Structure 1
Amino acid sequence: MLESIGVTEIDPGAVIDTLTFEERKALSNWQSVIYLSKLWIVDETTTALTVNGRDILYKLMQNIRDQGGAVLFISHDIEEIMKICDSLTILRDGVLTAELSKDEFEEEKIKQLMIGREMSAHYYREDEKENYQEEAALETKNLCCQSLKDINVVLHKGEILGVGGLSDCGMHDLGKAMFGLLKPDQGQVLMNGANKVKSARWSVEHGIAYLSKNRDREALMTIYCIKIISVFLRLKIWLKEES
């Protein structure tokens, strides 16, 4: 089945837990289209896929269309929308803004319809600059940890700092290390220039939060939820019997 859609790098006999997040995400998508249906809804899926995963997904979408089916493709990536889609429906704040055919696709026009105003070279709000301070809120010094090698990053107070890259480039390890989930092999993470980040518990106590990329596996304590529900049900049954 995997070979039929061009997937050769994943071992069908592998245990799911041994695969990367991207591979698991891709498998869940491919699984839904192995038995081709007339309508396939793809909602913001490509953001979690590698370049190869995206190419496979695009081919599957085209195959469904060519076989008489339809694909509802939801995305904020204008470049891939213009490349893949035959028609475009634009929503803004839940309201239908426009419906465009392929020959009407223009990047600037789509952006304007999406945000409700013309885009210029100036993207940022002026008032946010007033909150910026030179003082560091969080920083790393010569940080080495797993995929990270000698990383020096400074997050200033009042600043929004974005770190991006391809899958497995180390950006998620950086977030975990700055939060205290990963212990540095070398270097350190400092809060307010002096306080060393010791652990995730220490970070929470000092007002630092971390949102995991893989929230269903790393951010939810499902085993404890199950235990709590189990205790609640037993208590409910006991109270009913007592009454």
Structure 2
Amino acid sequence: MTLRAGEIHALMGENGAGKSTLMKILSGAYTADPGSRILIDGCEVTINGPLSARALGIAVIYQEFSLSANLTVAENIYLGRELRRLGVVDRRAMAKGCEPILRRLGASFGPEALVSDLSIAERQLVEIARALHAKARILVMDEPTTPLSSRETGQLFSMIRELREDGMAIVYISHRMEEIYELADQVSVLRDGTYVGTLDRSVLSAETLVKMMVGRDLSGFYKKTHDVYQRGECVLSVRGLSDGRRVRNCSFDLHAGEVLGIAGLVGAGRTELARLLFGAERRRSGSIRLRGADINMRTPLDAIRAGLAYLTEDRKAQGLFLDMSVNENINVCTYSREARAGVLSLSKARLRSRDAIRTLGIRVHSPDVNVGSLSGGNQQKVLLSRLIELSPHVLILDEPTRGVDIGAKSEIYRIIAKLAQEGMAVVVISSELPEIIGTADRVLVMREGELVGELGGDTGQPITQEAVIALATSGDRASLSAAA
């Protein structure tokens, strides 16, 4: 792989393809195998630790920030290189030294601000400022837009382009095709730890990239194996559901064997609606009927017992137990079901986790591996397998492919279609319109906490991006007809 000054070089590949491993070698976290060669300015170099990488002008901004929240911006930027005067850390001099870089980046905060008080986007700015202050010439950015809003993403892109104009070489890792098309000058692809090839911006296409990444083309990517015209009985009936704040007067029905998409702009209330259904937020008004019976869910445990399962949009903070094994994460909700006299059946649990690993294609050497060490796509499949083991009547999936590579996305879509084919009622909430259109039989569109329209099914309105956007932005039937 060759990286040039003043170039944005995207690095793509499935989860587990070796992208992060390669970047950790460049950052000095891992040591390259004997016989490997790394050349900077044509001269062979040895990277034997993070300080060595920093001295060579290499900086890495990981998806999980490496900032100390209890320190100031200046203290984070100078961390490990503190300025001292008479043996005491000179905070005033460090703050003064940071000011030019913060001004250059257009930061709205000063060097004395505590990192704990900053937003996610502002913390990312501190990471970039630290790299610039260390005079980095090679900047690696790993999934930098995952926690950002669309406005913050636009600001980040402008900053990246400015850094390119200043001659910095940037390695940009992302699963999002639209970001690659917008930013990349070159794209290199890894598969199974091996370099596949590099494409120039002028020949980029989704079909070519996907084939290089996963070894197959896009045909059947969103293939629905269930019969969308033969949906079963009404499993879930919601009427006038409100939380008094973000969700207002929502009503809909969900049938067995159906995939129901819920679309809308960020902040429209989709996640809040899902949490209301799951008992994670308090309901102020409205009714929920599951399989013909009224249910009143005060907690998520009530929802699980009633037959609902919910895959959260934040798998790390609200879904997985990162310091526990894959086996424990898959079985954590089913242990008690098989316990006898307070004794867990570990053999059954292990058999269940092995079956789930095989069925869902989870890439892991052993069920005893910590789930926190897995790639994002495999973590998502572990969480999904836990919910499937509950055998719910209704499965709610909130951003099921967030932070997941395109190969794992395809597998998750296959799982969704298979569950619907087996008669499960599935709700898919997603910010990616192609995902909603490709997986859902019907789509409900939310705007400002209300369900403002329905597409597909018996409505006679086709599910298109234009129709979804028209409803999400105006909620006007006339604009929907015009878009359709």
Regarding TM over 0.5, the answer is yes
How far has the Cα of 1:80 moved from its partner?
2.0
Out of 52, 57, 67, the position equivalent to 2:156 is 57
| 2:239 matches 1:141 | yes
Corresponding residue number in structure 2 for 1:228: none
Corresponding residue number in structure 1 for 2:128: 33
| 2:223 matches 1:125 | yes
Corresponding residue number in structure 2 for 1:172: 271
The 1:153/1:74 distance shift into structure 2, 3 A limit, reads: farther
The 1:156/1:47 distance shift into structure 2, 3 A limit, reads: farther
How far has the Cα of 1:217 moved from its partner?
4.8
How far has the Cα of 1:55 moved from its partner?
1.2
Partner SS for 1:163: strand
Corresponding residue number in structure 2 for 1:75: 174
Corresponding residue number in structure 2 for 1:90: 189
Q: Higher helix share goes to which structure?
A: 1
- The worse-fitting range, judged by mean Cα deviation, of 167-176 and 34-43 is 34-43
Partner SS for 2:225: helix
- Taking the TM superposition and a 5 Å limit, the aligned residue runs for 1:91-106 are 91-92=190-191, 96-106=195-205
What letter corresponds to residue 233 of structure 2 in structure 1?
Answer: E
Corresponding residue number in structure 2 for 1:159: 258
Count of equivalent residues: 215
Higher relative contact order (CA 8 A, sep 6+): 2
Quick check: 1:179–1:197 contact (8 Å CA) kept in 2?
no
How far has the Cα of 1:156 moved from its partner?
2.7
Residue by residue, what CA displacement relative to the aligned partner does 1:175-226 show, whole Å, maximum 9, x if unpaired? 111101112222123322324141222012234333333455545799xxxx
Quick check: 2:232–2:257 contact (8 Å CA) kept in 1?
no
What letter corresponds to residue 179 of structure 2 in structure 1?
Answer: E
Partner SS for 1:162: strand
How far has the Cα of 1:104 moved from its partner?
1.7
| 2:291 matches 1:196 | no
The 1:116/1:218 distance shift into structure 2, 3 A limit, reads: closer
Quick check: 1:50–1:166 contact (8 Å CA) kept in 2?
no
Give, in whole Å, the separation in 2 of the partners of 1:71 and 1:139.
50
Give, in whole Å, the separation in 2 of the partners of 1:39 and 1:152.
52
Give, in whole Å, the separation in 2 of the partners of 1:57 and 1:3.
15
How far has the Cα of 1:50 moved from its partner?
1.5
Unaligned stretches of 5+ residues in structure 2: 1-98, 323-484
Quick check: 2:107–2:125 contact (8 Å CA) kept in 1?
no
Give, in whole Å, the separation in 1 of the partners of 2:193 and 2:236.
37
Residue by residue, what CA displacement relative to the aligned partner does 1:114-145 show, whole Å, maximum 9, x if unpaired? 4544445x753342338963223334222122
Tell me the TM-score normalised to structure 2 length.
0.38
Give, in whole Å, the separation in 1 of the partners of 2:171 and 2:253.
41
Partner SS for 1:158: coil
Give, in whole Å, the separation in 1 of the partners of 2:317 and 2:289.
27
The 1:182/1:89 distance shift into structure 2, 3 A limit, reads: same
Give, in whole Å, the separation in 2 of the partners of 1:118 and 1:83.
22
Corresponding residue number in structure 2 for 1:206: 306
Partner SS for 1:48: coil
Give, in whole Å, the separation in 2 of the partners of 1:92 and 1:136.
43
- The worse-fitting range, judged by mean Cα deviation, of 29-38 and 177-186 is 29-38
Percent identical among aligned pairs is: 27
How far has the Cα of 1:170 moved from its partner?
0.8
How far has the Cα of 1:86 moved from its partner?
0.9
The 1:105/1:59 distance shift into structure 2, 3 A limit, reads: same
What letter corresponds to residue 143 of structure 1 in structure 2?
Answer: L
Out of 130, 139, 145, the position equivalent to 1:46 is 145
What letter corresponds to residue 209 of structure 1 in structure 2?
Answer: A
What letter corresponds to residue 205 of structure 1 in structure 2?
Answer: R
Partner SS for 1:137: strand
Give, in whole Å, the separation in 2 of the partners of 1:89 and 1:153.
45
Give, in whole Å, the separation in 2 of the partners of 1:143 and 1:212.
20
Quick check: 1:191–1:197 contact (8 Å CA) kept in 2?
no
